[in-house]
Protein backbone atom coordinates (compact mmCIF):
# COMPACT_ATOMS: atom_id res chain seq x y z
CA UNK A 1 0.00 0.00 0.00
CA UNK A 2 1.35 3.42 -0.98
CA UNK A 3 2.12 5.93 1.76
CA UNK A 4 -0.37 8.78 2.13
CA UNK A 5 0.89 12.16 1.02
CA UNK A 6 0.34 15.14 3.31
CA UNK A 7 -2.59 17.35 2.30
CA UNK A 8 -0.31 20.16 1.10
CA UNK A 9 1.29 17.82 -1.44
CA UNK A 10 -2.06 16.38 -2.53
CA UNK A 11 -3.47 19.87 -3.08
CA UNK A 12 -0.34 20.77 -5.01
CA UNK A 13 -1.20 18.40 -7.86
CA UNK A 14 -4.71 19.78 -8.39
CA UNK A 15 -5.22 22.17 -11.29
CA UNK A 16 -7.17 25.42 -11.09
CA UNK A 17 -8.70 27.51 -13.82
CA UNK A 18 -9.29 30.85 -12.18
CA UNK A 19 -11.98 33.31 -13.06
CA UNK A 20 -11.10 36.92 -12.33
CA UNK A 21 -14.53 37.32 -10.79
CA UNK A 22 -14.93 35.55 -7.45
CA UNK A 23 -17.69 32.96 -7.06
CA UNK A 24 -17.43 33.51 -3.29
CA UNK A 25 -18.80 36.84 -2.13
CA UNK A 26 -20.10 38.51 1.01
CA UNK A 27 -23.61 39.85 1.41
CA UNK A 28 -22.26 42.43 3.86
CA UNK A 29 -18.56 42.63 4.86
CA UNK A 30 -19.58 44.32 8.13
CA UNK A 31 -21.07 40.98 9.23
CA UNK A 32 -17.55 39.51 9.11
CA UNK A 33 -16.16 42.29 11.29
CA UNK A 34 -18.69 41.31 13.94
CA UNK A 35 -18.20 37.57 13.46
CA UNK A 36 -16.54 36.33 16.64
CA UNK A 37 -15.43 32.82 15.60
CA UNK A 38 -14.76 33.37 11.88
CA UNK A 39 -15.22 29.64 11.22
CA UNK A 40 -14.67 30.02 7.47
CA UNK A 41 -10.97 30.55 8.21
CA UNK A 42 -10.80 27.44 10.38
CA UNK A 43 -12.66 24.94 8.19
CA UNK A 44 -11.13 25.63 4.78
CA UNK A 45 -8.22 23.23 4.07
CA UNK A 46 -7.13 25.37 1.11
CA UNK A 47 -6.82 28.54 3.19
CA UNK A 48 -9.21 30.48 0.98
CA UNK A 49 -10.13 32.84 3.83
CA UNK A 50 -7.72 35.12 5.60
CA UNK A 51 -8.23 37.98 8.03
CA UNK A 52 -6.05 40.94 7.00
CA UNK A 53 -6.09 44.46 8.31
CA UNK A 54 -9.60 44.28 9.68
CA UNK A 55 -11.31 42.60 6.76
CA UNK A 56 -11.90 39.16 5.30
CA UNK A 57 -9.81 38.45 2.21
CA UNK A 58 -11.11 35.66 -0.04
CA UNK A 59 -8.59 33.81 -2.21
CA UNK A 60 -11.28 32.29 -4.45
CA UNK A 61 -8.69 30.98 -6.90
CA UNK A 62 -7.69 28.31 -4.33
CA UNK A 63 -11.24 27.05 -3.72
CA UNK A 64 -11.79 23.28 -3.66
CA UNK A 65 -15.58 23.69 -3.95
CA UNK A 66 -16.27 21.64 -0.81
CA UNK A 67 -18.91 24.00 0.56
CA UNK A 68 -17.80 23.50 4.17
CA UNK A 69 -17.26 27.25 4.54
CA UNK A 70 -20.87 27.95 3.59
CA UNK A 71 -22.19 25.63 6.27
CA UNK A 72 -19.72 26.92 8.86
CA UNK A 73 -20.55 30.55 8.09
CA UNK A 74 -24.30 30.06 8.24
CA UNK A 75 -24.31 27.70 11.23
CA UNK A 76 -21.52 29.18 13.36
CA UNK A 77 -20.70 32.57 11.86
CA UNK A 78 -22.77 35.60 10.92
CA UNK A 79 -24.05 34.25 7.60
CA UNK A 80 -22.33 36.74 5.29
CA UNK A 81 -20.95 34.22 2.81
CA UNK A 82 -22.70 33.89 -0.56
CA UNK A 83 -21.40 30.63 -1.99
CA UNK A 84 -21.80 29.62 -5.63
CA UNK A 85 -19.98 27.19 -7.85
CA UNK A 86 -17.51 28.76 -10.29
CA UNK A 87 -18.85 29.47 -13.76
CA UNK A 88 -18.63 26.63 -16.31
CA UNK A 89 -15.04 26.06 -17.39
CA UNK A 90 -13.57 27.49 -14.18
CA UNK A 91 -12.61 26.01 -10.83
CA UNK A 92 -10.65 23.04 -9.55
CA UNK A 93 -9.73 19.81 -11.33
CA UNK A 94 -8.76 17.08 -8.90
CA UNK A 95 -5.84 14.91 -9.90
CA UNK A 96 -5.13 12.88 -6.78
CA UNK A 97 -7.38 10.42 -4.96
- Residues forming the site for ligand SF4 (CB under 6 A): 31-32, 35, 38-40, 56, 72-73, 77-78, 80-81
Give CA–CA dist 29/56, Å, rounded: 8
Which residue is at the shortest CB distance from ligand SF4?
77
The count of C-alpha atoms lying within 13 angstroms of the C-alpha of 74, restricted to the half-sphere facing its C-beta, is 9
Give CA–CA dist 37/10, Å, rounded: 28
For ligand SF4, which is the closer residue by CB, 10 or 22? 22
Nearest-approach distance from CB 60 to ligand SF4, in angstroms: 12
Nearest-approach distance from CB 35 to ligand SF4, in angstroms: 3
Nearest-approach distance from CB 50 to ligand SF4, in angstroms: 10
For ligand SF4, which is the closer residue by CB, 11 or 81? 81
Give CA–CA dist 36/7, Å, rounded: 28
Give CA–CA dist 55/1, Å, rounded: 45
Amino acid sequence: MAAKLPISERLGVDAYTSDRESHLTLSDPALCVGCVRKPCILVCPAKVYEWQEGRLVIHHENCLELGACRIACHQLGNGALVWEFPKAGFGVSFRHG
